[in-house]
A = this chain, B = another copy of it.
Amino acid sequence: MDVKTLCLGVLTEGDKTGYEIKRCFEDAFSHFFVAGFGSIYPALAELSRRGLVTSRGVEQEGRPDKKIYSITPEGERALAAELAGTPPRHKVRSQFLALMYFAHLLPPERVAGIIDQMIAQWEPTVAKIEGCVTAEQLTPGMRFAAGYGRAVLGAALAYVRANKEDLVREVAAATDREPLALAGE
| Partner-B contacts on A (CB < 8 A) | 1, 5-6, 9, 12, 28-29, 31-34, 76-77, 79-81, 83-84, 86-106, 110-111, 114, 117-118, 121, 139-142, 144-145, 147-149, 151-152, 154-156, 158-160, 163, 166-167, 170-171, 174, 182-183, 185
Selected contact of A98 from candidates B6, B106, B174, CB within 8 Å: B6
Compute how far the CA of A96 lies from the CA of B6 in the bound complex, rounded to whole angstroms. Answer: 12
A-B contact pairs, 20 of them (CB 8 A): A1-B99, A12-B105, A12-B182, A32-B97, A33-B93, A80-B105, A86-B95, A90-B97, A90-B118, A91-B92, A91-B93, A97-B148, A100-B141, A101-B142, A101-B145, A103-B140, A141-B167, A151-B159, A152-B156, A154-B155
Q: How many copies does the complex hold?
A: 2
When the two chains form their complex, are residues B171 and A140 in contact, meaning their CB atoms are under 8 A apart? yes
When the two chains form their complex, are residues B96 and A89 in contact, meaning their CB atoms are under 8 A apart? yes
Compute how far the CA of A25 lies from the CA of B3 in the bound complex, rounded to whole angstroms. Answer: 28
Q: Which residues of B contact A182 (CB under 8 A)?
A: 12, 76-77, 79-80
When the two chains form their complex, are residues A121 and B90 in contact, meaning their CB atoms are under 8 A apart? yes
When the two chains form their complex, are residues B102 and A141 in contact, meaning their CB atoms are under 8 A apart? yes
Closest to A154 in B: B155
Compute how far the CA of A49 lies from the CA of B16 in the bound complex, rounded to whole angstroms. Answer: 49
Most buried by B among A100, A151, A160, A163: A100
Closest to A116 in B: B88
Compute how far the CA of A169 lies from the CA of B121 in the bound complex, rounded to whole angstroms. Answer: 35
When the two chains form their complex, are residues B33 and A97 in contact, meaning their CB atoms are under 8 A apart? yes
Q: Which residues of B contact A121 (CB under 8 A)?
A: 90
